[in-house]
Chain A
Amino acid sequence: MSLSDLVLSIADNKQMLGLRYAEWATRAPSLEADIAAAAMGLDDLGHSRVLYGCLEPLGADPRGPERETDPASLRALPYFDEPWSEWAQFVAANAILDTAFTVMVESCVSGSVEVLQHRLRKMLMEERYHFLHGRSWLRSGIDAVPLNRAWQEAVEWFGPADGEVASLHRDGRLSMGPAELLVRLEEQLEMKAPKLSIDWKQWDAIRRRSAPGAIDQSTFAMLRGLEEKKYAPSAVPKA
């Protein structure tokens, strides 16, 4: 695993976060929250494009042809595998996971890699409003189940104490390792993570998740443009 793998993981997660946000653009509890869902979705989809664009300058693009056919080759967290059915799932992702991705982006911006320092800085300004939105809704009180799940997946995503993120932190390419990222996340949210039990032996270092699975087929087909083909006019055979 390399810095490119980590950047690809941030990109894939932001892409899925953006899509899941956008699915709530007409289902949130108020018109303002609908608009915020749409705007945050656009932001995160844009951020994913910027992050994908950093892979080549980093020198190693880990994306292979399997991404065209295998949804399990994408590196998004299990939280995004299925569309959310409850507003509480939206809020937990908005507050915990979106902020977890932001603190990792902060760690890249404050690290020693120039392309990440420059290209990711603007994201932090836009993410401020995602954070305000998520924290405010979180304070209004949500179910514990999606909240605990989001914490679990955020901490798993930061990785083990002896993993690659820790190593990238030691050599200065990231300004924070897993422990510092968690502290920063807790400080931001002004709350502590619940007691978590993580079996790192089950953890996939490339996908940065423990649970197997992948995004739903319909979302995967949409990402690949396969859904669009259903509506394309049939090819007329040449006479």
Chain B
Amino acid sequence: MTYKRVSGDAVEYEVFARKTRGEPLHQVGSVVAPDDDLAMAYARATYDEERWCEMAIVRKENVIALWQPGEN
């Protein structure tokens, strides 16, 4: 049986986390998933080896780049 993914093509998500309230969120990696729910489950499973006090995911397509490497 072929599994039709929920929202069509899989989407790339950036994963951000921090260990203490005092430090800024920083990117710890990325996951690919067809929807936000699965992306949350995948991010938690993949990057759970540290004791993060906060973790968040953002769709890569929603990140607005001001400039890219080599452009400034």
Contact = CB atoms under 8 A, between A and B. Distances in A.
A19 B50 CA distance: 24
B59 to A, nearest CB: 15
Interface stretch (A6-14, A59-67, A138-146): A138-146
- Mostly helix, strand, loop or mixed at chain B's interface? mixed
Contact of B32 (A32, A133, A135, A139): A32
Contacts, number: 59
B33 to A, nearest CB: 6
A135 B41 CA distance: 11
Interface residues of B, number: 20
B37 A136 contact: yes
A194 interface: no
Interface in B34-72: 34-35, 37-38, 40-42, 44-46, 48
Contacts of A136: 6, 34-35, 37-38, 41
A35 B45 contact: yes
A129 B32 contact: no
Interface of A: 29-30, 32-33, 35-36, 38-40, 87-88, 129-130, 132-133, 135-137, 139-143
Interface of B: 1, 3-6, 10, 31-35, 37-38, 40-42, 44-46, 48
9 contacts: A30-B10, A35-B42, A36-B46, A39-B44, A39-B48, A136-B35, A137-B3, A139-B6, A140-B3
